[in-house]
Chain A
Amino acid sequence: GQQVMQIPQYQHVQEGEDFTTYCNSSTTLSNIQWYKQRPGGHPVFLIQLVKSGEVKKQKRLTFQFGEAKKNSSLHITATQTTDVGTYFCAVSNAGGTSYGKLTFGQGTILTVHP
């Protein structure tokens, strides 16, 4: 099945610094999703990228899908303490009965020091 490698595993930043997490696949992806899980919480959907080279922004968060659709990144500008949590990328096979089955990366744990 599909696998995605996510780096780094941990990232510690000072409040106000930027943060980036990367997700890489050896195979071409049909789409990629990003989720955030707060400490003690559950994954919450952030965004889905579908098109080659796609870039989407949500306030201080910028999501990119690589031209070859084999990698993706999530960049947070000027981190805040509310950004603390684990960020996961997740991939699926589009269509058919694969809906609902996601393969998650290992996640990047972000801590923000005030």
Chain B
Amino acid sequence: DAGVTQSPTHLIKTRGQHVTLRCSPISGHKSVSWYQQVLGQGPQFIFQYYEKEERGRGNFPDRFSARQFPNYSSELNVNALLLGDSALYLCASRPTRVTGANVLTFGAGSRLTVL
């Protein structure tokens, strides 16, 4: 079975540009979360989606948005990129059964560099 897949793996953008990152969860997982990991820090929660609805949002500006599609894949969009948006963006999916419901499986991430 494929794990959580993310694309692209690496990308370089300039300030003010827009970026779209994509994620496919593990088959059967209906919940997807997005995290930002700045170098040297722990991952920070951005969004959680379940059954195509936003179920949680972290302390990030409105430049960050996301959505989940009927096949449970997800996109993270960031507008008006700033240098500080340079980070590893991690997508995670989780099972929705009660046992282990908050155990996350992370994808390999999309490393964004903003110049």
Cβ of B109 and Cβ of A101 under 8 Å apart?
no
Judged by a CB distance under 8 angstroms, whether B64 is at the interface is no
Binds B, one of A13-21, A42-50, A69-77: A42-50
Judged by a CB distance under 8 angstroms, whether B48 is at the interface is yes
Cβ of A88 and Cβ of B56 under 8 Å apart?
no
**Residue total for B at the interface (Cβ-Cβ under 8 A):** 27
Judged by a CB distance under 8 angstroms, whether A104 is at the interface is yes
Cβ of B103 and Cβ of A42 under 8 Å apart?
no
Q: Chain B contacts of A100 at CB under 8 A?
A: 31-33, 48, 50, 55-56, 92, 94, 102, 104
Interface range on chain A (Cβ under 8 Å from partner): 20 to 34
A45 and B105 in contact, given A101-B48, A105-B42, A107-B41 (Cβ under 8 angstroms): yes
Q: Chain B contacts of A43 at CB under 8 A?
A: 43, 90, 104, 106
Q: Chain A contacts of B55 at CB under 8 A?
A: 97, 100
Cβ of A92 and Cβ of B41 under 8 Å apart?
no
Cβ of B103 and Cβ of A45 under 8 Å apart?
yes
Cβ of B41 and Cβ of A106 under 8 Å apart?
yes
Cβ of B33 and Cβ of A104 under 8 Å apart?
no
CA distance A49 to B93 in the complex (A): 20
Judged by a CB distance under 8 angstroms, whether A78 is at the interface is no
CA distance A98 to B50 in the complex (A): 11
Judged by a CB distance under 8 angstroms, whether A33 is at the interface is yes
Cβ of A45 and Cβ of B104 under 8 Å apart?
yes
CA distance A75 to B44 in the complex (A): 25
A42 and B56 in contact, given A94-B102, A100-B31, A100-B104 (Cβ under 8 angstroms): no
CA distance A44 to B44 in the complex (A): 15
Judged by a CB distance under 8 angstroms, whether B108 is at the interface is yes
Hey, which bits of chain B sit against chain A, CB under 8 A?
A: 31-33, 41-45, 48, 50, 55-56, 58, 88, 90, 92, 94, 100-109
